[in-house]
Every structure is written in structure tokens, then in C-alpha cells.
Amino acid sequence: MGCVPAHPAQFHRKQVLKRAELKPGFKLADRGPRRAPFPLELGRQKRASVDPSSTQSAGRLSQIPASLDLPHRRFAAAPRFLASLLRSFTAAVPRSSLLLRSRVSAAAASWSALCSPPPLRVPTMAEPEMTKAEEDPTKLRLFNSMTKEKEIFTPRVEGKVGMYVCGVTPYDFSHIGHARAYVAFDVLYRYLKFLGYEVEYVRNFTDIDDKIIKRANEAGETVESLSGRFINEFLLDMAELQCLSPTHEPRVIEHIEHIIELITKIMENGKGYEMEGDVYFSVDSFPEYLRLSGRKLDNNLAGARVAFDSRKRNPADFALWKSAKEGERFWDSPWGRGRPGWHIECSAMSAHYLGHVFDIHGGGKDLIFPHHENEIAQSRAAYPDSEVKCWMHNGFVNKDDRKMAKSENNFFTIRDILAQYHPMALRFFLMRTHYRSDVNHSDKALMIASDHVYYIYQTLYDCEEMLSVYRKGGISVPVPAEEQKIVDEHHSEFLKYMSDDLKTTDVLDGFMNLLKAINSNLNDLKKLQQKLEQQKKKQQPQKKQQQKQQQEQKRPEDHVKTLFALETELKNKLSILGLMPPLSLEEVLKQLKGKALERAKLTEDQLQNQIEQRNDARRNKQFDMSDRIRKDLAALGIALMDEPTDQQANRQQTPYPQTSSQVQRVHSAVFGRLDGSLDQVRQMQKRLICPYHQHKPSFRSQASAM
């Protein structure tokens, strides 16, 4: 295999330069992190072995200053150059020569195995600043779908962010896939705001489309009236899920003028053509087409929405303007009466609100092709300087590990889910999976999410109740060092995970420590208060030794101060994530409980009756019976949560009386409906006392591996 190069170190500058001359615009030092035309596998292998913690390795080449010794530059450039060379060579071998192609690939693979990581990190005077930024864990990094790697987020204008997210086509109620996308970008929007950025967030409505026209005709109403209705329904869903309103929510029919302007510009630049009142984009006129998806031009028809049209110059050409059919809503244009194609609206509206160059463009990963590819082509064809700094795409929603589809009858609207589960449970459920991974929707996972939010709000409610008497009077003692450490660590972990491409899965797991600390402080404080109360009643003078012991232990004010600090930290972080409900916690707990009862088909009275029977059984030490009642309720999707000391208190007869608040709190099942096998029930009972502490959620996504 004489054609396959031996080792990068053997490359000469001449070869690098020769390659550079072959590709116009190829500049060694200019290749920033957003350009990755080389084979990604090889690129990843190289980057992973160089510095796994690095997120900007692709841009390393551009970071090597020109003044550096030539051998370093050559060495750093070699793997990338070789990869390009191999790719060109493989492409040059005829498709029929399968044997030769496979040998070339095998040689390429063995070469890349031999290729030891080049020493890209060369210390220079100019580099420390970059290194510092890269190593700062709180510096926001976002995964860019264009370069396929996490990059440090640097807005185009300091302190300001322009963000465009593709919106819905309002012809029906929105489904859970929409909730997934808009919750994901709401989390980003909120976090950017928290980081102090002034964010201009644009989310459009595609309010003219084949489906809307069809539905409006069926319903005998105008497209405006039908889309208007479903836009309102969508906004209600978004409000339920606590998604903040974007800065602008433009509708296509308000921007027809801008769309016509953009198509005119594309036509002027010779990148579009007209056929009998239809205008098409010529993909052959745009060499960069399909760079985002990495598809090949000859196989891209599979994902196209439209049927093959023989009038097109290239089957992949897509419509910019469609001539109006009989009875369709139309607008006048230089090409006759018609309406815009699907993709052009986002190019026109993003440029109108954010300019030709803006920071973030988001949407579901199903939009990468053809929608976003076409958007890039149109925008750049009209204005060559058009650019999106970071492309972000969220994963799908599957139902019980199968793709959700109307034809499969496993399709859920947001309304369907909110009829059974609290909106905060749905939001929590969606955030439990990293935004780039696919979410698996199941009743079990939603029940677990309901439990988690119930547990969070119940803990906060108890904390609020306990602290209510202390809120007015100031407490001068500092937060004990140990607890202050928990708060500080939580804060820095939150920043670390959120800044690492919004790792919400880890952030939500991180609440566990705060909740544990709140509950243990609440318990200790209650015990201490009861003890002091008893001593006061008996009016026992404290012995010197007892006094000394108490001085060493925590005082009530230490716990109170700790609880204030923990509560503030928890509420702050929940607010940033959009998980702090607008209603009182008492009200939200009531709602969550109501949803759990509805799912179990039980009334409040029936449940209360069961709880009282169980209390009697526990008082009479009939633990078999009390366990059976608990098991029966669990099978219905209702779990009883006793306070941690409760069971101990009953069985060991400790001096602490069973208070009404200790009796029972109801929340939805920890593990959903059970088949009732004894092992399962026992396992569940063990976890019932404190589900969030002991139960490692099974629906955690593969996000951590990303």
C-alpha cells in the first residue's frame, strides 16, 4: 500500500502547503473550531487521546501562534492533513473496486492506530489566557452540532446573546416532543440570563403550511383562525411547563415581505430559479450544502418532505416559494401569487430579529436535515457573511423505548400528560435526561418524577413551616462550617454541571445532598426543641457536665441558620431551572396529591380511611397488617412516606411522641404499580421512607456518557 502515508512525523511542509493550495480558502492558521471537514472518527480519536478534558481541541491548530517553530506546526497539522488525504484517496477509488476500497480503509485504520498523539500543547507566551478559560469549569461550554464538539461559548457581542429556536406548526395540540424541545431551550435561556447575559430569544410559529391549509379547509375556517387557536393552546402548555416567553414570537404571515426580499436576493445572486410560479433553491450553487448533517448530496432525498418534481434542476433542490393552488391562502410576489416554502421563513425571521450573524440556533435533531441545512444554504446564498455561531439540537422522545408516532398509537400531547401528571413533574421528567439524548417516556418514569418533585416540595414546605417563627427575628450566629461547605459545594457543582453543556441530569441528582441536609437539620432541631421543652417543664437545673455537653453540640440557632442557608440555596437553584412553582408549596403539594389520587382512582376519604387503619395497626404493633395496607396502596400507585424517625420511634418506643405531622404524607408511588411480588414490595418498602435518598433513578439517561 504505497499510497498510504507512513507516519505524520515524516510529512514535509511542502506536502501541507500543496494540500492547502488544492483547496481554495484553506488556511492553516484560520481553521477555527467550527470547521471540521475531516473525518470525525479520526478527529475524535486524536482529540480524545490528546486531552480528554479539552473541548476546543479542533481549534488548537489555530491557537498555535505563527511565530512558533515550524516543526511544531507541521507535526500538529499532519494528522488532519493525512485524514483529508485518505478521504480523497478513498473517494477516488471506483465504487466497484470493493477489495481495493476495503484495503485502503484497513490501511487507514492501522495508520490511525499507529498515529501517536501529537504534542499539540506547546507552551507559549500567548497561550495561558486560553488555557485558563478552557480549564475554568464554570465557563459555559455548549455542544455545537456543526463541529460536533463542546465549545466555550463566546457571544458575538459581549454580554448579549441572540438565540433562535424553530417553533411549532400550530395545526393541532402540541405533543410531548415539543415540550422536550422548548423545556430544553428554556433551561438554556434561563441559565444564560442567570449568567448575566441579555438574551434576545426568538421562537417562531409556522402559521402557513400544507397541514394548516388542509385542517382549516376541513374545519371550514381560515388558516389564521385555526393557527391562532392552536397558538393559544401552545402558549398555555408552555405556561404550564413554566417556559419563559421568548423575546419575540413571530408568525410567518407577519413576515411575508421579508421572505420575498430574501428570495429576491437569492435570485439576484443566481442561487435560485423560477419554474411556473414556483421558486427553487439550486443546491448545486452552494458547495457547502449538507455540512451540518454530513450527508451526501446524492442520498439526501430520503429525508425530504416533498415528492420528486421532474422540473427541478437537481432532485435535491427545495422550494423557496410555492405558487398558490386553487382556494389556497396566497400573497402577491414577483413570481405571481403564492406562499413561502417551509425553510425560508426561519432564514428571514432570524435575520430580521437577530441579524445575519447570531449566536445560537436551536431545534430538534430531526430538523438538522433538511430544515437547518436549507436554512444555512438560503441565508448564505443571500448574504455570504451569514453565520450561526453555535447550532444546538435536542433529542427525541420515545415511548417505552419505541419511537413515538401517530401510526403506532403511542403519541401523546402535552395535554394528555398534564391530565395525569403535574406540570412540574413533566418538566422534571424531561430535564432528567440530558437535552441531546432521547427521552424515554413511560408512566413509571413519570411517576418517579412526580415522587421526586413531591419530595422536594414537601421538604421545602417543612422547612418553611419550621422557619416561619424565626423569619422576623434576625439570628446573629454564622452558618456552621460543615453546613456552609454543603451549600458552597452545591453551588459550585451546579455551575460546573450546568456550564458543561447543561448537564441537568447531574444537577437534579445534586439536589439530593441539600434535601438530605435539610431533613436531618429539621429532625435534629425538632428533637432539640422537644428536649429543651421537657427540661423546662421539669425545671431541672442543668448539671455542669450536661451544660458542657450542650455547648459542644449544635444549638437550635445553629440549625435554624443552617436551614435558612440550605433553603435559600435550594430555592435559588430550582428557580434558575424553572422548577420553583408560582403557587404556594402547600397548594402544589395538594395538586400533586390530587393527581396521584386520580391515577389511583381513590377519593381523599377512602385514602384517609386506609391511613387511619394503618395508624391503628401500627399503634397496636400489628406490623403485618400495617405493611399490608401500605402494600395495597403502593399497588394502586400511592406510597406512604413516614418521617425517618417514625418507624424507629414506634418500634423502640423512644420518648418522642408521634405527632400528626409525623403520621403520613401521601405521594405517588415510588416505583409505579407493582405486580405485588413479595420481594418487590419489600424492596419498595425499604425505599419508601426516603425514596429520593435511597433510590437511584432507573431512567437516568446515557447523558453522562456524552
Largest CA distance in the chain: 101
CB of 52 to Zn ion, least distance (A): 34
Q: Cβ closer to Zn ion: 146 or 166?
A: 166
Contact letters for Zn ion, residues 572-591 (x by CB under 5 A)? --------------------
CB of 295 to Zn ion, least distance (A): 18
Q: CB of residue 346 vs Zn ion: minimum separation in angstroms?
A: 3
Interface segment toward Zn ion; rule CB under 5 A; list 160-168, 379-387, 544-552, 620-628: 160-168
Of the pair 378, 505, the CB lying nearest Zn ion is at 378
- C-beta of 345 vs 462, nearer to Zn ion: 345
Interacting span for Zn ion (CB under 5 A) from 96-104, 159-167, 641-649, 663-671: 159-167
Instruction: Give me the least distance between CB of 70 and Zn ion, in Å please.
Output: 45
Is residue 368 within the footprint of Zn ion (CB under 5 A)? no
Distance CA 590, CA 700 (A): 27
Distances from the Cα of 91 to the Cα of 88, 100, 490, angstroms = 5, 11, 52
* DSSP string computed for 121-170: ----SSSHHHHHHHH-TTS-EEEETTTTEEEE---SBTTEEEEEE-----
Contacts of 291 (CB under 8 A, 6+ apart): 37, 146, 373, 376
CB of 265 to Zn ion, least distance (A): 19
Q: Nearest-5° angle of CA 268, CA 274, CA 280? A: 85
CB of 376 to Zn ion, least distance (A): 11
Q: Cα separation of 651 and 194, whole Å?
A: 48
Rg (CA), the chain: 31
Cβ nearer to Zn ion, comparing 250 with 338: 250
Residue that the C-alpha cell 416532543 belongs to: 177
AA letter at 667: H
Q: Which of residues 496-535 bind Zn ion (CB under 5 A)?
A: none
Burial 544-560 (b: 16+ CB within 10 A, else e): eeeeeeeeeebebebbb
User: What span, in angstroms and rounded, lies between the C-alpha atoms of 247 and 206?
Assistant: 17
Q: Are strands 198-203 and 272-275 parallel, antiparallel or unpaired?
A: unpaired
Output 253 or 346, the one with its CB closest to Zn ion: 346
Helix/strand/coil for 441: strand
Phi/psi at 172 (5° precision) = -160, 180
390 is an interface residue for Zn ion by CB under 5 A: no
Cβ 363 to Zn ion, closest distance in Å? 6
Q: Residue 93 corresponds to which cell in the numbers above?
A: 477509488
Q: Which is nearer to Zn ion, 346 or 445 (CB)?
A: 346
Query: Rounded distance, CA 579 to CA 454, Å?
Result: 12
Helix (H) or strand (E) holding 200, with range, is strand 198-203
Minimal distance, residue 166 CB to Zn ion, in Å: 3
Between residues 226 and 376, which has the closer beta carbon with respect to Zn ion? 376
Residue closer to Zn ion (CB basis): 84 or 394: 394
Q: Which is nearer to Zn ion, 349 or 611 (CB)?
A: 349
Q: How far apart are CA 341 and CA 18, in angstroms?
A: 43
Q: What is the footprint of Zn ion within residues 449-478 (CB under 5 A)?
A: none
Number of residues binding to Zn ion, judged by CB under 5 A: 2
| CA quadruple 327, 260, 306, 401: dihedral sign | negative
Minimum CB distance to Zn ion smaller for 84 or for 379: 379
Nearer Cβ to Zn ion (346/397): 346
Residue 166 as a binder of Zn ion (CB under 5 A): the answer is yes
The minimum distance between CB 375 and Zn ion, in angstroms, equals 6
Taking the complex as a whole, how short is the minimal distance between the CB of residue 224 and Zn ion, in angstroms?
Answer: 20
Minimum distance from CB of 360 to Zn ion (Å)? Answer: 13
401 CB burial (10 A radius; 0-12, 13-18, 19+): exposed
Using CB under 5 A as the binding rule, the residues of this chain from 327 to 346 that contact Zn ion are 346
Q: Is 682 left (phi over 0), alpha (psi -120 to 50) or beta?
A: alpha
Which residues sit at the interface with Zn ion, rule CB under 5 A?
166, 346
